[in-house]
């Protein structure tokens, strides 16, 4: 990483990269979570529960939400970090503060 603060130009140029990586991260995280839930869920319910589905016990809804949060956070962190590293390789400047 560069020891100096990022320039305003680097921050502005990184915005579209960050936006695309954020959307991509959400899609990837959703797909990963659905696969994890499909393999780990009890019974024949392949789709994860949502808060308003009464056929699921509250405990199962909370577990699904927690797992989804962890998966989303990890995937977003990896994609954001790798996007910033790629930006730095292309421009020579780190896009964050």
- Look at residue 39 and tell me if it is in a domain: no
From CA 69, how far away is CA 21, in angstroms rounded?
18
What's the structural domain count of the chain?
Answer: 1
For residue 64, give its domain range.
Answer: 55-96
C-alpha R_g of the chain: 18
- Look at residue 15 and tell me if it is in a domain: no
pLDDT in the model for residue 74: 95
pLDDT in the model for residue 42: 67
- Look at residue 41 and tell me if it is in a domain: no
- Look at residue 16 and tell me if it is in a domain: no
The residues of the chain scoring below 50 in pLDDT are 1-2
pLDDT in the model for residue 2: 44
Is the sign of the CA dihedral 49, 52, 55, 58 positive or negative? positive
- Look at residue 34 and tell me if it is in a domain: no
Sequence-distant (6+) residues with CB within 8 A of 51 are 61, 65
Is the CB of residue 93 less than 8 Å from the CB of residue 7?
A: yes
pLDDT in the model for residue 18: 84
Question: Which structure tokens are listed for 76?
Answer: 């977003």
- Look at residue 33 and tell me if it is in a domain: no
């Amino acid at each position: 990483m560069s020891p100096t603060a990022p320039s305003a130009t680097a921050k502005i140029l990184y915005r579209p990269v960050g936006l695309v990586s954020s959307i991509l991260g959400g899609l990837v995280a959703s797909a990963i979570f659905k696969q994890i839930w499909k393999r780990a869920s009890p019974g024949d319910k392949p789709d994860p529960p949502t808060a308003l589905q009464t056929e699921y016990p509250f405990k199962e809804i909370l577990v699904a939400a927690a797992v989804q949060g962890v998966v989303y956070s990890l995937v977003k962190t990896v994609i954001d970090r790798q996007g910033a590293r790629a930006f730095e390789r292309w421009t020579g400047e780190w896009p964050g503060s």
